[in-house]
Amino acid sequence: MKKYTLLAVLLSSFILFSCDNFAVPSGVEVKTEADYKFTIADIDLDLSQYFSAEQLSSNLSSGAEGMSIYNYNPNGAADKFELLMDMQLQEIPLDFSSYLESIDLSSSLSNMSIETSVTIPEVNEEFSQDISLSDINSMINALVSFQGKSGEGSLSFLMEDGCDFDYIEYSSGYLTVSGAFNNGKTVTLTLKDGTNLTGTFKNGTTKITIPAGTKLHKNGMSISFSDSDGIDYVAIIDSSSQVKQTSGLTLSDTISKDINTTFSIPASDALVSCTIGSGTLTAQVETPETWSGVSPSINGNITGGLDLSFTDGSNSLADKVLEPKDITLAGSFSVSFSNATITFTDGNPDIKLAVKIDSFSSAKISLGESYSASQSFDYELPEEATTMINYIIWKPSGISISCTTNLPTGNDIKMENVVSDFLGIDETVAKSVLNKTVDYLSTDKDEELGTDYHTSVITSGTKVDFSADLLLPGYDDTDKTLTLTNVECGQDYSIDLNIQPVFEWFKIAIDPSALASAPQTGNIETGFDLSSIFSSVDSLLFTEDQINNGEAFSGNIKIKSLPVYIFCQLPSVLSGAKFTGTISASTGSSPVYLLGSSTEDGTLASSTRPVLEFNEANELITNIASFDVTSTDFASLINGATSGSSLDVDYSLAFSAENMNPIVLVNPTYQSDPDVSADDTALTDGSSNISLSAMLVLPFDFTVAKDLTIDALNLYSGLDRTDPNWDLLNRSEAPSNETLDKFLGIIENVSLTYNLRTKPFGSDSPIRFAITIPQTDDAGNFTGDYILNDSFKLSSDTISLDPGDLMKTYPLQPSLNINIPQGNLYIPSKVGLATNVVVGIETNGKPLPLNFQ
Amino acid sequence: MKRLITFISTLFLLSSIASAGNLFDHRLLEVEANLPVNLSNNYFSIKDIFFTGDGIIKIDLTDMANTLPKSGFGLIAEVSPDVGINLNFNKFKVGAIVGVDLYGNIGLGKGLIDFLGNGNELNKDIEADASFNLDLFAYAKVPVDLKIRRLSLNFSPSLFFPVVHGTLESAKATVTNDESGKFSVNVNGVAAMYGICDISKFFSDSGLAFNPQDLLTILTDAFSNKNFGFDMEGGIGWDYTKAFNVSVNYRFPIFPGRLNYKTSVGYEFNYEATAATISSAQPETSSTPMSTSVCEYVINRPLKLNLTAVFDPFHSRNFTLTGMAGFAVRHPFSSNIEEVDFYPEYNFGVRLSLANIITVNVNTSYIDQIYEHKAGLAFNIRLAEVRAGISVQSSSFITSFQATGIGAYLTVFAGL
């Protein structure tokens, strides 16, 4: 067989090795012609945070009081980003009732109002607890154990002094007798009725079963042993033995047990306490009727919501104060036995505690720390009001009190001393307001004016005065509580007392000459500086060198237009009224006048200020330019401003009217009142203010003075370009060229494809960008830029890369320079940078050896 | 003594001659040993591996992606040695054979090969899966052949032990690259091995820790736990004419074998990064340590049923043509329906024999999910017979002609 095997091996070897191509595998080469594509990034930068009203506001050096800045999107159709600055120069309300509304009487009177409810607790709690018989059973078992010597016959019980019993009847149990008796010897306990209980000793002990119904008497029982006399023995009743009945039982110790229980008082938060009218706490121990000679006792304390001590029987709770807290009953129960007869099967002793409150004499309710039952205050009218108002004629005005309660009888609520000289109220007599609405209003006539209403003549120093006192049952101003009487257990009580001021002005006489005599001047420092706006953008997009070399936005970008609109709104009642004077703007140099000139005042005609409307994006969509109002272009002023100079607006305006006589304005509500005369003027809502405002529209539409270059990688937060060794591929060390060459050798082409969905800039000329990679020699010295391409489109394009140049360059610190050409540049209304980048890798089918030997 | 031996030998020889039409048809009493080995894949040929000229195996991933079927790359190994003893009479044969059936396959899904060979579609998940299956049975059977006029019956009750069954319960890798540029890679796999004993005991930190002395204990436990199964092989043949015989052959499970221990191990790998974090992001890996639980895994040997026709035009059995068609079910009646594998089987063969002394046979078949083209040579001098053959094979019909798999068998008979 060996011969055949050898022959087969030789034959096979000859066949294999005779083939030219045979070779033992020593390695593996892999090749592929594949096209791989991966999305490596999806950039979606929302640059609106840098181009927004909020950003501009934060960039303003000082800000301006009375100026608001909005994202402006006229008619919701703007294609370029715009801002609108709204500057309120003057606003004088003619509806002088608003001055009265600004006097916050409601807040002051609200401290007198009451809105509370309480629930008077209903207490009827019972607590019971059984006393376990096991303790008594154990004590009795201890009585029955006895000892002695064999041959004595009589028993010597082990009970303590003071203890005694006649007999004890068991329902079950064992008697264990122990002594130095020989195995097989017996013991016999002869009961009083002659019955024998016998046990046989083993190892010196025997366990005798006590049959049900067995009575062990103290006297009349005997014991005998089959062993020799004189041997000490002890007989112990097993602790598990169950006593059925005992007679003549006397124990030297009492059986005690602690009791403890807690219950809560249901009550509302406003309830402070209740004084109990009548009520009892009952404590008792009930024993089975068949028991005799048993003396129980109980005592303890109640703490928490009630505070008292109690003993056996009924304990009165009258005049005790109940607080809405948890109530704890703690005490102890004890029972003593003297010649007692107990039958265990008749039940257990039962401890019973009961707390029952039948009535409360009073209940104290908290009204809150800020409550005050009395109010007295004087408010000075604003100077504008006292200057321009001659008098106010009131419809009945003052206060209105409404009170709704379900308080029990004897708890009245009254109001007294309601006094106001300003409103002509003087009610000093106390009046009940219980469950009714009571008005304290001015009612006196004005004979001089011939009206039935009170007139307040306004002079300098005129005050709005008011005082009132509320009388509440048992009110304690220190504790801010009231005390109700005659309350019932379990009853809900509520008080809803509301006091509201009533201001119903009928006519107001104003003196226009007061306005004319007070020329309005002012200055608004907008803090608006074009360079400051672009400074934040410059720091984001440009390098420090570019900024220092004047190759950033600041200084190279001019705004195309900056229209300013002035709105002068005059109420129709002031027909012929006008503002005259000057409005000028400056940026640190010579001012530009919107109204008048440096030598002559101008006159502002009346114009309607537009109502500002906003869309869901909180953009102002009202088209300001569509209103009939003159505008001035501040573009040249802003463009000519020196760096650091912000836009200031100065105005000096005098109000004048052709008719300088007092004007009597009638409340629009009472225009039909018969007391309205032909000379009176109705005041309508749309003309209640004198308003002077300026609106400045800033479109982000610029001219670029020269070509600018932005490195878009500055926008990529994933790179720490402050690190001199930052690497686009986040590598920490140069890769191995040997390894790289093996893999790069199978790559035919690498491409990056991008598609710009949202652009950060718009321009009339195409915006293109270039990618450059600084090259270094082995020593790390800069040898020049490798320019990948300098005219990629800022829309979508494909960049072909030489992976060797990228992968072998370390650190790879390319620049992605976007070229903004000289000409026009604008920021789109939806400003951002959104693009996705897809990398494509094509392999060339060349073999890649995987055995790197 | 010599006389006695000579007498017995002469008696056997005369009996054989008397009971056989041909002196070399069969031995009256023989022992046999059979060792078939098959190893195949569905892509790499022997030439690709051993006849590269420079010893470098060249893997063309693009060609693999374009050539391989949807099921991907597959590797199958099958070894089924047996030894036995047969007692052959003219109309009745009976034997006793013990042997081992080992069948294993490994699969690599097409997804990974397609990705490596052709690339991918943008933002579409790349998925790759793998499969593994291993069955090892030990068996003992008693084949019995009966010839009653034109009817031939054979049946072979078999007692088999399912020694081990291995499978990959899950093996999948998914690479996701979404439109935001995020890459995520998830790889998870759970391998399970069912055995008649706790297989984890055979593994230690230093590798295999199998003690042959434990084998007796294992077998004893297997008997006491009734791990063995029982199936019946056989066939019914009918000589339609002297030249044409048809038969139905089968293997039916009767009583399944049981595997009482399941040893499993799992691994999971997760990696998520963007282009900016791809070098710094750390993968999360977790592995489930090898653990064994008690179970009752029921397993049968493959069910088979086929129809065979033998054409013997010269009634001499020196030239026969054989055709077989049927089907088989791997893991029949398994509670896990995914493991039930139905597949067809066929065989066509030509046998040319010279007085049954020198025999040549050529077959092409698809059996046990392997396409095989086999040539065999047998040399019989009655006292001993040696059969040997080689085959080219593959789990793919096309590559089976390219020698992407090889097989060989060697069978030795010795007797009187």
DSSP string, A686-739: GGSEEEEEEEEEEE-EEEESS-EEEEGGGG-TT--TTSTT--TT--SSPPPHHH
Burial track A630-643 (b if 16+ CB lie within 10 A, e otherwise) = ebbebbebbbebee
pLDDT digit string, tens, across residues A117-130: 999 998 888 888 87
Residue found by looking up tokens 């049954």 in the block: B356
Residues 6+ apart with CB under 8 A from A777: A783
Residues 675-734 of A with CB under 8 A from B: 718, 729-731
pTM of this structure: 0.55
Task: Give me the mean pLDDT over the A412-418 stretch.
Answer: 91
Q: Which of A20, A32, A718 has the CB atom closest to B116's CB atom?
A: A32
Beta pairing, strands A431-432 & A436-441: unpaired
| Contact state of A25 with B62 under an 8 Å Cβ cutoff | no
Question: Element (H or E) spanning A540, and its range?
Answer: helix A530-541
Query: What local confidence, expressed as pLDDT, does residue B33 receive?
Result: 96
Query: What local confidence, expressed as pLDDT, does residue A853 receive?
Result: 45
| Contact state of A730 with B277 under an 8 Å Cβ cutoff | yes
Residue B146 has pLDDT above 90, yes or no: yes
Q: What whole-number distance in Å separates Cα of residue A130 and Cα of residue A708? A: 97
| Contact state of A31 with B120 under an 8 Å Cβ cutoff | no
Query: What local confidence, expressed as pLDDT, does residue A575 receive?
Result: 64
pLDDT band for A481, please (50, 70, 90 cuts): very high
Give how far Cα A666 sits from Cα of A507, A508, B140, Å: 5, 7, 120
pLDDT digit string, tens, across residues A351-375: 888 899 999 999 999 998 889 999 8
Structure tokens at B197: 């004993």
Chain B interface includes A753 (CB < 8 A): no
- Phi then psi for B68, rounded to 5 degrees? -65, 150
pLDDT band for A297, please (50, 70, 90 cuts): confident
Number of H helices, E strands in chain A: 12, 59
Nearest alpha-carbon partner for B165 in B262, B251, B69: B262
Query: What local confidence, expressed as pLDDT, does residue A603 receive?
Result: 86
Task: Give me the mean pLDDT over the A178-204 stretch.
Answer: 90
pLDDT digit string, tens, across residues B31-61: 999 999 999 888 988 888 888 888 889 999 9
Question: Element (H or E) spanning A14, and its range?
Answer: helix A2-18
Burial class (CB within 10 angstroms; exposed 0-12, middle 13-18, buried 19+) of A440: buried
| Contact state of B118 with A729 under an 8 Å Cβ cutoff | no
Contacts of A715 in chain B (CB under 8 A): none
Residues 6+ apart with CB under 8 A from B399: B42, B43, B45
Residue B190 has pLDDT above 90, yes or no: yes
Nearest alpha-carbon partner for A526 in A164, A140, A89, A10: A89
Residues 6+ apart with CB under 8 A from A539: A547
pLDDT band for A451, please (50, 70, 90 cuts): low
pLDDT band for B194, please (50, 70, 90 cuts): very high
Query: What local confidence, expressed as pLDDT, does residue B174 receive?
Result: 92
Give how far Cα A712 sits from Cα of A285, A778, A818, Å: 93, 28, 7
| Contact state of B59 with A30 under an 8 Å Cβ cutoff | yes
pLDDT digit string, tens, across residues B83-117: 999 999 888 999 999 999 999 999 999 999 999 99
Q: What whole-number distance in Å separates Cα of residue A529 and Cα of residue A364? A: 66
Q: What is the mean pLDDT of chain A?
A: 82
Residue B1 has pLDDT above 60, yes or no: no
**% pLDDT > 90, chain A:** 17
More confident residue, A12 or B381: B381
Q: What whole-number distance in Å separates Cα of residue A162 and Cα of residue A4? A: 117
Q: Which of B62, B123, B275 has the CB atom closest to A41's CB atom?
A: B275
For residue B305, the distance in angstroms to the closest alpha carbon of chain A comes to 37
Q: What whole-number distance in Å separates Cα of residue A270 and Cα of residue A151? A: 82
Q: What whole-number distance in Å separates Cα of residue A644 and Cα of residue A589? A: 12
Query: What local confidence, expressed as pLDDT, does residue A538 receive?
Result: 82
| Contact state of B59 with A31 under an 8 Å Cβ cutoff | yes
Query: What local confidence, expressed as pLDDT, does residue A828 receive?
Result: 87
pLDDT digit string, tens, across residues A802-842: 777 777 788 888 887 888 888 888 888 888 878 888 889 99
Give which of A40, A844, A851 to mutate to test B binding, by max B Cβ within 10 Å.
A40
Q: Which of B47, B118, B279 has the CB atom closest to A731's CB atom?
A: B279
Q: Which of A19, A29, A39 has the CB atom closest to B177's CB atom?
A: A39
Structure tokens at B33: 């040993």
pLDDT digit string, tens, across residues B219-229: 777 777 778 89
| Contact state of A23 with B116 under an 8 Å Cβ cutoff | no
Residue A103 has pLDDT above 80, yes or no: no
| Contact state of B56 with A20 under an 8 Å Cβ cutoff | no
Query: What local confidence, expressed as pLDDT, does residue A6 receive?
Result: 46
Kindly report whether the peptide bond that precedes residue A811 is cis, defined as omega within 30 degrees of 0: yes
pLDDT band for A4, please (50, 70, 90 cuts): very low
In a 3-state reduction of DSSP, which class is residue A414?
Answer: strand
More confident residue, A182 or A715: A182
Neighbours of A434 (CB within 10 A): 16
Q: Which residue of chain A is at minimal alpha-carbon distance from B54?
A: A23
Task: Give me the mean pLDDT over the A148-172 stretch.
Answer: 87
More confident residue, B105 or A572: B105
Chain B interface includes A23 (CB < 8 A): yes
Residue B322 has pLDDT above 60, yes or no: yes
pLDDT band for A100, please (50, 70, 90 cuts): low
Residue A382 has pLDDT above 90, yes or no: no
Do B76 and A47 form a contact (C-beta atoms < 8 A)?
A: no
User: Distance from CA of residue B241 to its chain's centroid?
Assistant: 34
| Contact state of A42 with B181 under an 8 Å Cβ cutoff | yes
Q: What whole-number distance in Å separates Cα of residue B298 and Cα of residue B196? A: 11
Query: What local confidence, expressed as pLDDT, does residue A19 receive?
Result: 54
Q: What is the mean pLDDT of chain B?
A: 87
pLDDT digit string, tens, across residues A604-646: 877 888 889 999 988 999 999 888 887 888 888 888 777 677 7
Give which of B50, B377, B387 to mutate to test A binding, by max A Cβ within 10 Å.
B50
Q: What whole-number distance in Å separates Cα of residue A382 and Cα of residue A74? A: 39
Contacts of A844 in chain B (CB under 8 A): none
Q: Which of A16, A37, A730 has the CB atom closest to B276's CB atom?
A: A730
Query: What local confidence, expressed as pLDDT, does residue A3 receive?
Result: 47
pLDDT band for A516, please (50, 70, 90 cuts): low
Residue A490 has pLDDT above 70, yes or no: yes
Nearest alpha-carbon partner for B292 in B331, B260, B254, B336: B260
| Contact state of A31 with B119 under an 8 Å Cβ cutoff | no
| Contact state of B177 with A27 under an 8 Å Cβ cutoff | no
Residue B330 has pLDDT above 60, yes or no: yes
Give which of B49, B60, B126 to mutate to test A binding, by max A Cβ within 10 Å.
B60
Q: What whole-number distance in Å separates Cα of residue B220 and Cα of residue B245? A: 44
Q: What whole-number distance in Å separates Cα of residue B334 and Cα of residue B303? A: 12
Give how far Cα A191 sits from Cα of A197, A570, B371, Å: 8, 124, 103
Residues 798-837 of A with CB under 8 A from B: 836-837
Beta pairing, strands A167-172 & A481-485: unpaired
Q: How many Cβ pairs closer than 8 A exist between chain A and B?
A: 104
- Phi then psi for B196, rounded to 5 degrees? -85, -5
Q: What whole-number distance in Å separates Cα of residue A18 and Cα of residue A29? A: 25
